[in-house]
Structures are given as structure tokens and as C-alpha cells.
Amino acid sequence: MKKRLMVIAIAAMLLAMLTACGGSGDTAPQNDAGSTTADASTSANDAANAETGATDEGDLGDYHVKILDAETGLKDYEGNPVIGVKYEYTNNGKENMMFDVAVSAQAFQDGVQLELAFMDEFSDEYENASKEIKPGTTLTCELYYALTSESDVEIEVSELISFDDAKLTKTFSVAQ
């Protein structure tokens, strides 16, 4: 049974990738969220989101996710600048699931996807991203992204395997 589910999941992921590759060709970045700094109040971001229709919290399939905050001034193992972004993840499904498997959390700078950063030291929340949690459980997770400039970082979170375009967004300022 598990092998069948894995084969179905892989087939769905391949179908999603093929569908994404055959897009409209429109590569202009979308401005889905208002800008906020890592230490700005949530209400400023909520007001900007209300104007654009974007949101930094909501249900993505069987999961509820909230983009919490970001920490700048971090360095990867080579000393390059990094941003750490925290997420609140609730499994509302029927099976145990990890954040890393349930959703796709991407960061963009200047319209280009940022790579995940490799750190010498990382938070407990970072390890939480790859821990399975039972249905009804909420966990705070953190991912680190390698910065390429001092431009704002746009976060987009969507369900990993889905046939709708639902996504959560939030923008953080990294300028010193």
C-alpha cells in the first residue's frame, strides 16, 4: 500500500513539474505582498496584504501555515549572508507529515529563487522542518536561505503537491 502511495505521489509530482514547465511564458515577478522588515509589526504587513489580497497565513490543503518572521545578520559555513525564516506549521491531515514534505517554502531576491544555506550552527526550529508531526499538532520550523544582495526577500509557500495555485506570501527587508 505504501509503495502504491509513493508511486502515485511521484507521478503527481512529475505531472505538476511538467505542467509548470509548460506555463504561459510570463516571467515577470508578481508583487503579492507588502514589504516588511524582520522586526516590523505584523499589523503593517497585514495592512499591506489586505490591499493586495495576499496573505502570510492560511490553509494549504491539509496543512495550516503561517510565515512568522525572519532573522538577518546570519552567516553560512563560508561566512556568506543568510536569512532565517520561521514558519508555524499545523498538520490537519489524517497521517503524520513533515513540513519539508507537505509544503514548498521558497525565497526570492530580485525575482530569482534563493538556494538553501548550509550552516555551521542552526536552531532547534531548523531541525523541526524534517520532523514528522501527528495530525492536529503545530510546530515552529525554520529554513535558511543564502542571500545574493541586499534587496527584499519574498517568501512564497504552497502545498508541495497540489492542483490549485494557493500560496502564502510575505516580504522581508534585509537592508542594513
pLDDT of residue 162: 85
Residue 62 zone, left/alpha/beta (φ > 0; ψ -120 to 50; rest):
alpha
Could you give the dihedral angle defined by the CA atoms of residues 11, 16, 18 and 20, in that order, rounded to the nearest 10 degrees?
Answer: -170
What is the structure's pLDDT at 24?
38
Q: Tell me the C-alpha distance between 5 and 52, whole Å.
A: 38
Check residue 67 and give its pLDDT.
98
- 10-residue block means of pLDDT along the chain (176 residues)? 54 53 38 36 43 77 96 94 97 96 97 96 92 97 96 96 91 86
- CB under 8 Å to 145, separation ≥6 — which residues? 82, 83, 85, 107, 114, 115, 116, 117, 153
3-state secondary structure of 69: strand
Distance in angstroms (rounded) separating the CA atoms of residues 88 and 139: 6
Q: Which of 102, 106, 82 is nearest to 94 (CA)?
A: 102
The predicted pLDDT at position 68 comes to 97
DSSP state of 97: B
Alpha-carbon separation of residue 53 from 50, 57, 58, 59, 96 (angstroms)? 5, 12, 12, 15, 31
Bridging pattern class, strands 35-37 and 168-173: parallel
Q: Would you state the pLDDT for residue 8?
A: 61
